[in-house]
Amino acid sequence: MKKISVIASLLVAGILASCGKENVGSGRELIGAWVDVNHTSDTLIFFNKGGRVILFDNSLTYRTIRANGGVLSPGANQYEVMLSDDRLSTRMIEINLPGLEGFQSGKFEWITRNREFSVEPHGFRLYLSCVGCPQQFRKIY
């Protein structure tokens, strides 16, 4: 009888622990390449690295700065990702700016689940101070 109550307690604890993670996801559903529907030269590339989902922002602005000899490290536009129901949170992997060590976030919304989404870019494009102007991305692979 004692074994059954211990097993039942562990089972309930496991269920409760897994339920608490519903609002903060790994972002694995974003893995792949996504193109900005209004600026097709801008892409977001999500990949798995060391058990974390990483975002590489391959925007035209980033490529232009690098091409003109800007002082950006190779990992400057890479971010660790967390996805919740309505927020895309990112944290710079290579932190060059004081005060930006934590996660930044922007409003996130699936338009078509796992195929198209909109996101406010200020969570990962710190050079855009745009609240209320989401960008829309479509999965290309």
Q: Is residue 15 part of a domain?
A: no
Report the range out of 62-71, 93-102, 108-117 with the highest average pLDDT: 108-117
Q: Give the Cα separation of 21 and 10 in Å (integer).
A: 17
**Residue 16: predicted pLDDT:** 38
Q: Is residue 88 part of a domain?
A: yes
Beta bridge partners of 88: 83, 106
Q: Give the burial class of 119: count Cβ atoms within 10 A of its Cβ; 0-12 exposed, 13-18 middle, 19 or more buried.
A: buried
Q: Is residue 10 part of a domain?
A: no
Max CA separation in the chain (angstroms): 72
In this structure, what token pair is assigned to residue 112?
Answer: 């078509």
Q: Is residue 12 part of a domain?
A: no
Domain CATH number, residue 91 = 2.40.128
In this predicted model, what pLDDT tens digit does every residue of 32-66 receive, in sequence order? 999 999 988 889 999 999 999 999 988 776 666 65
Q: Is residue 9 part of a domain?
A: no
Q: Is residue 113 part of a domain?
A: yes
For the chain, how many structural domains are there in total?
1
- 41: containing domain: 24-139
Instruction: List Cβ neighbours of 16 (8 Å cut-off, separation of 6 or more).
Output: none
Between the CA of residue 139 and those of 12, 35, 37, 46, 115, what are the distances in Å? Answer: 38, 6, 10, 11, 5
**Residue 63: predicted pLDDT:** 65
Q: Report the Cα 141 to chain-centroid distance in Å.
A: 17
**Residues 120-137, mean pLDDT to the nearest whole number:** 75
Confidence of residue 30 (pLDDT cuts 50, 70, 90): very high
At 119, the amino acid letter reads: V
Considering only CA atoms, which of 93, 110, 2 is closest in space to residue 47? 93
**Residue 62: predicted pLDDT:** 63
Q: Is residue 32 part of a domain?
A: yes
Between 92 and 36, residue with greater pLDDT: 36
Q: Is residue 92 part of a domain?
A: yes
